Amino acid sequence: MCIIRASVTAVPQLLVSTVLLGGIYALIAVGLTLIFGIMRVVNFAHGEFLMLGMYLAFWAFTLLALDPYVLLFVSIPLFFGAGLLTYTLVMKGVIHASHNVQIFTTVGLSIALQNVALVLWTGDFRFVRPWYYSVVVRLGGTAFNLSQIAAFVVSVGFTVALFAFMKWSYTGRVMRATAQDRDAASLMGIDTDRVYGLTWAIGIVCVGVAGVLLAPLYPVYPTAGLQFVLLAYVVVVLGGLGDMVGALLGSLIVAAVEVVGSYVFGTAWKEVLYFLLFIAILLIRPAGLFGQRGTETLGV
C-alpha cells in the first residue's frame, strides 16, 4: 500500500528523470550506432572517449577555470581531431579485416586508453563542481539539477542535429550510401575509407561531448566510461544495431528502467534490471525492438 501511494505522487518526478537521463544516453548510443551502422564495427573503446571527455572537462575546469558548457565548443573540434587520429593510426588498418580482428583492435584501444589515463591522472575519483552544481530547479512537484537539464538540452540538440545531417546533407547521403552498398558507392567515385574516417570521427565527437556534459554530474576516473557504455550497448541492441531512431527510443526505455527500477528496488538493482531487459529483448526480438528491418536497414 505504502509503495503504491508513494509511487503515484512520484510519477511526474520519475517521468522527468527518465526523459533527462534518456536524452544523455541517446547521445552516447547514437555515436555507437552510427559507427556500427556505417562501418559495421562495434566500438568497444566508445566508453574511453567518454572518459576522455570527462577528464577534458575536469582539467579545463580545474586548471583554466573553463566551464564545461563553454568547453563544449572547443571539445567538438578536439574530439573530431582525436577521432581522425585514432582512425588513421588504429582503425584504418583493420577496416577491411574480419570482425574478430576489429573486436580485438577496439578492445585493445579501450584498454590502452584506460591505462594511459591511469598513468597520467591516477585512479583517483575527481569531481567537477561548477557554481550551478547544487542548483535545484523545482517545477510542479518535480525537482531536478540544473546541470542535468543543461546536459539534456545540449544532448538532444546534438542528436537532432546529427539526424538532420544524416538525413538531409549531401555528406549524410554519401555516408548512408556507403553503408548500404560499399562497392556501388566506390563506383560512384566515393572514397569509402574517407567516409569511414569521417563516421568514426563524428561518433567520437558525440561520445566525447557526452563525456563533457556528464562531468559535472558523475565522478571522473579512468574506467568511468564503462558504466555508461555498457548501457549504451543495451540501448543500441534494444533499438536495433545501426538504427538511429531506435537508439533514441532505446535510450528512453533504458533510462525508464533505471529510474523506475532504482526507485522501486533501490539503486543497487538498476544494472541487473536493464541487463535482464536486454536478455529478454534478445530472446524475443534479436533484431532489436524497433529494428523491424533488422540490422540491414542502415537507412539512418
Q: Which residues are CB-contacts of 106 (< 8 A; sequence separation ≥ 6)? A: 41, 42, 43, 44, 45, 91
What is the DSSP code (8-state) at residue 89? I
Which residue bears the cell 545531417? 165
User: CA–CA separation, 207 vs 25, rounded Å?
Assistant: 10
C-alpha cell read off for 193: 575509407
Q: Which is nearer to other proteins, 70 or 181 (CB)?
A: 181
- Nearer to other proteins by Cβ, of 166 and 253: the residue is 166
- Cell numbers standing for residue 177: 550510401
Q: Name the residue nearer to other proteins (CB basis): 36 or 221.
A: 36
C-alpha closest to that of 250 among 16, 9, 30: 30
CA atoms within 13 A on the CB side of 134: 1
Nearer to other proteins, 37 or 83 (CB): 37
Find out whether 205 and 80 touch, Cβ atoms under 8 Å. yes
Give the footprint of other proteins on this chain (CB under 8 A): 170, 173-174, 176-177, 180-181, 183-192, 297-299
212: Cα within 13 Å, side-chain hemisphere: 27
Whether the Cβ atoms of residue 209 and residue 158 lie closer than 8 Å to each other? yes
Comparing C-alpha atoms, which of 92, 44, 47, 40 is closest to residue 214?
47
Which is closer to other proteins, CB of 109 or CB of 174? 174
